[in-house]
Amino acid sequence: MSEVLFRAAWASPSNIALVKYWGKYGVQLPSNPSISFTLSECRTESRLELLPKSGEQQIEVYLDGEKKDSFVPKIAKFIQRIAPELDWLNEFNFRLHTRNTFPHSSGIASSASGMSALALICCDLHEQISGERISDFYRKASHLARLGSGSACRSVYGGLVSWGEHAAIEGSSQDFGTPFSGKLHPVFKDFQDCILLVHQGEKSVSSTVGHDLMNGHPFAEKRFELAGQNLASLVRILESGDLDAFIQLVESEALMLHGLMMSSVPYFILMKPNTLKIIEKIWDYRKQNGVPVLFTLDAGANVHLLYPAEFKAKVEKWIDSDLSSLCENKAYICDHVGQGPYRLNND
Ligand code: DP6
């Protein structure tokens, strides 16, 4: 086995968008601004080892210790894309060890956590190899992560993170994510997200295809305008702590996202019957108990059940008794807003 010349390891979390990124142009630039909660328990932990290279670049990827040749093209494409910015990238062979803290087949997208972990690793290695500090390490990592997967650029920071230019967000950019620096009501600081795993496994249409279908989508222009308006409203809600307004805005964003999928050409549906059953249960429970539970969806069938931390014990009991039976293998993951990525011990 050849000698490892450099190595770096990072853990990076997944995130869940409140205002959704759906539609892109150019090289991974968003058609509208978005904002997400960074999660905590759903993470990717990766270690990249740089090895001596002679001849063509070799890339090996291991998932949970098992060699995964099917992951290589995605990693190779990412490396090719960021190579113009990190001149040493083409000088080594790569060995990447990666694992997700959530089940691989859970239907939870690992691209945000995986690509952000890899981008952070590349920034770390850049500092090691060049001997120079990157002046804004996380901004650079966010920019690189974006080139791998759009939503990954928001996973580089903890808490609430936006991406895409917007007048209501200072320092916002198309190029990288921005940690939310506006006033934040305490209720949003430790919001809970229980991911109800309705459908584990590959989804029928990838996000990349879905984004592409926004080009020429009959509602595209209006959608991009509404996303901007929703972000402006959300900034005010985040300050006031108005949970009724929060519920209305976030649920509407989720349904609009899926409405866009259902009205694209060709159209498609990623929700499953149990997705709708769970949504109805959430609405009933909220009405009957006055507990501010709400849902959001990403590009899949799983339901993210969001609620303030003070209701944790009560809501978890209800999930177990009433919602888990609607999940595949009764599986769900209790997560919450997290602090963002961290460097791992290198061994
Ligand atoms: C519905 O970031 O997975 O989750 O940029 O093609 O990698 P690519 O797409 P991706 O899209 C995420 C879409 C979403 C909404 C969001 O996270 O904002």
pLDDT digit string, tens, across residues 108-133: 778 999 999 999 999 999 999 999 99
The string of pLDDT tens digits covering residues 161-194 is 999 999 999 999 999 999 999 999 999 999 999 9
Please work out whether the CB of residue 172 comes within 6 Å of at least one atom of ligand 1: no
pLDDT value of residue 346: 73
Task: Report yes or no: 180 and 160 within 8 Å, Cβ to Cβ.
Answer: yes
Work out the average pLDDT over 232-260: 98
**109 in contact with ligand 1, CB cutoff 6 A:** yes
Which pLDDT tens digit goes with each residue over 29-51? 999 999 999 999 999 999 999 99
The residues that bridge with 196 in the sheet, in sequence order, are: 303, 332
* Ligand 1 binding pocket includes 46 (Cβ within 6 Å): no
For position 139, what pLDDT does the model report? 98
At 341, is the secondary structure helix, strand, or coil? coil
What does the DSSP assignment read for 67-80? E-GGGHHHHHHHHH
Instruction: Please work out whether the CB of residue 299 comes within 6 Å of at least one atom of ligand 1.
Output: yes
Q: What is the pLDDT of residue 104?
A: 73
The pLDDT score that the predictor gives to residue 1 is 58
Once rounded to an integer, what is the mean pLDDT over residues 194-222?
A: 91
Q: What is the pTM (predicted TM-score) of this model?
A: 0.96
Q: CB 24: neighbour CB atoms within 10 A?
A: 20
Higher-confidence residue: 202 or 299?
299
Query: What is the mean predicted confidence (pLDDT) over 225-254?
Result: 98
Q: Give me the chain's average pLDDT, please.
A: 96
Q: For residue 255, what pLDDT band results from cuts at 50, 70 and 90?
A: very high
Report the distance separating Cα 79 and Cα 85, nearest Å: 10
Whether the pLDDT of residue 17 is over 70: the answer is: yes
Closest C-alpha to 165, from 11, 30, 40, 43: 30
Q: Does ligand 1 have an atom closer than 6 angstroms to the CB of 150?
A: yes
pLDDT above 90: residue 200: no
Burial class of 306 by CB neighbour count within 10 A (0 to 12, 13 to 18, 19+): buried
Confidence of residue 207 (pLDDT cuts 50, 70, 90): confident
Substitution site in 12, 20, 21, 213 for ligand 1 pocket (most atoms within 8 Å of beta carbon)? 21
148 lines ligand 1 (CB under 6 A): no
CB 75 within 8 A of CB 21: no
Instruction: Report the pLDDT value the prediction gives residue 347, as an integer from 0 to 100.
Output: 66
Name the one residue in this structure whose structure tokens are 């961290």: 342
Task: Specify the residue for token string 């932990």.
Answer: 45
Does ligand 1 come within 6 angstroms of the Cβ of 111? yes
- Among 195, 207, 296, 297, the mutation site with the greatest number of ligand 1 atoms within 8 A of its Cβ is 207
> What spacing in Å lies between the alpha carbon of 230 and ligand 1's midpoint?
18
Helices (H), the chain: 72-82, 111-130, 137-148, 207-212, 220-240, 243-262, 273-289, 312-318
How many Cα atoms occupy the beta-carbon half-sphere of 152 within 13 Å?
A: 30
- Cα of 207 from ligand 1 centre, angstroms: 6
Which residue, by CA, sits nearest to atom 4 of ligand 1? 298
Least confident of 99-113, 253-267, 274-288: 99-113
- Cβ of 113 less than 6 Å from ligand 1: no
- CA–CA distance, 230 with 233 (Å, rounded to integer): 5
Average pLDDT over residues 311-328: 98
Instruction: Read off the pLDDT of each residue in 126-147 and give the average, rounded to a whole number.
Output: 97
202 pLDDT higher than 90: no
pLDDT, position 206:
86
Token pair for 54: 């002679």
For 327-337, the pLDDT digits (tens) are 999 999 999 99
